[in-house]
Amino acid sequence: MGITDPAQEYFKDGGWGWTGTAWVKLGLLWGYYDRLAEDLGDLNPGAGSYTKYSTAVPAGEVHVIRGISYMNNSGARGALDFRAYFGALFTFLYAAPVPGASTPHFISCDFVLKEGDRVRVNQASVVAGDDIYSAVWGYKMKVA
pLDDT of residue 2: 54
Q: Which residues of 17-49 are buried (b: 16+ CB within 10 A; e: fewer)?
A: eeeeeeeeeeeeeeeeeeebebebbeeebeeee
Please name which of 46, 64, 71, 30 lies closest in space to residue 125, comparing C-alpha atoms: 46
Predicted local distance difference test score (pLDDT) of residue 10 = 57
For residue 143, the model assigns a pLDDT of 84
Q: Identify the pLDDT of residue 71.
A: 96
10-residue stretch averages of pLDDT, the chain, 144 residues long: 59 69 74 94 94 96 96 93 94 93 94 96 95 97 84
User: CA-CA distance, 109 to 120, in Å (whole number)?
Assistant: 15
- The residue extents of the domains of the chain are 28-143
Superfamily in which the 28-143 domain is placed by CATH: Galactose-binding domain-like (2.60.120.260)
Q: What is the DSSP letter of 75?
A: -
